[in-house]
Amino acid sequence: MMTTRAKQHGLSLISLLIALTIGIFLLAGLFDLWLQTRNTFNAQGSLSQLQDNERMALSNMASIVQSAGFYPLAENYGTSPPSPLLTPTNVFTISSTAGSYTVGGQYIYGTSGTSGSTTAPSDTLYVRFMAGAANAYDTTASTANALDCLGQTHSDRALVTNQYYVDPTTSQLMCKVTDVSSAGAITVTPAQPIINDITTGGGTSTSGIYQMTVTYGVDPTSTGSVTQYMSATTIASDAYWMYVRSMKIQLIFANPLGNQAGQKAQLPAITRIVAVPQTTVTI
């Protein structure tokens, strides 16, 4: 009896090439899907960090602005009141230390930068307050009741100046603190960034603030309401520092997605208006 064997046929070269081509297209599609997913994840992370930085920057500045002109008035009524008693005029004296204060009682100062420039200096802002003891009726307490822009406490009756500016080299929002103790000793804390860098898919970038602009709401005729906003240059020219009732702070951040097609390098300005709650001395 004879057995007939079926002929065996392997893959032809053409069939193999077709299979490889289909496989390559499938792999390319999967790689593109993975790449888009990774880019989306990185973009969301960068935008989340950007929002955190925006909140942190404005919250930090607003908190310090609201402390402008504070001094521990309650210590005048404590068991060991200062002599002379604390008043805005003798607390916030005329001084050129950490700013230029030309009138007794002045606790706000600033300078105007170059609008729209990423290399020239932005505006600067100086805010003074006097730290007080945690217990105004026991001034021997070691803990102060106020924090500066870097989160530091200070000794009782120390005059604290917070200076904000944008470093044109690193594009970071910086804060520098100057402490003048009740004995007259001056301690300067070097400027430090108050917000974090933004980490992108390509590595770590700077916090990316293009510009800080501060305008000052003034009430020169004591109407009880802000009548207009002025730059620091105009305020200084008109001698209106004592009439500042609010500040309009604008920050322009770099776009963390600015290196992508169709994206702008910088974002629209974010703005916050902050009231200056302390009573200003009338001159």
Per-residue confidence in pLDDT tens, the chain, 283 aa: 566 666 666 667 788 888 888 888 888 888 888 777 776 666 677 777 888 888 899 999 999 999 999 999 888 888 888 889 999 999 999 999 888 999 999 999 999 987 555 555 789 999 999 998 766 555 455 456 678 999 998 988 999 999 999 988 888 899 999 999 988 999 999 999 988 776 655 555 555 888 899 999 999 988 888 999 999 999 999 999 999 999 999 999 888 777 777 878 888 899 999 999 875 544 4
Q: How, if at all, do strands 244-253 and 124-130 pair? A: unpaired
216, part of any domain: yes
4, part of any domain: no
Instruction: Say if residue 120 is exposed, middle or buried (CB neighbours under 10 Å; 0-12, 13-18, 19+).
Output: exposed
20, part of any domain: no
Cβ atoms of 88 and 129 within 8 Å: the answer is: no
Sign of torsion over alpha carbons 272, 147, 123, 198: negative
pTM: 0.81
Q: In the chain, how many domains are there? A: 1
Give the residue among 239, 250, 240, 246 at the shortest CA–CA distance from 225: 246
19, part of any domain: no
26, part of any domain: no
Cβ atoms within 10 Å, residue 32: 10
7, part of any domain: no
Give the range of the structural domain holding residue 99, as residue numbers without chain letter. Answer: 33-275
Cα 220 from Cα 197, distance rounded (Å): 40
How far is the CA of 84 from the CAs of 76, 80, 81, 87, 202, in angstroms? 9, 12, 8, 9, 60
Cα 111 from Cα 32, distance rounded (Å): 50
Cα 173 from Cα 61, distance rounded (Å): 10
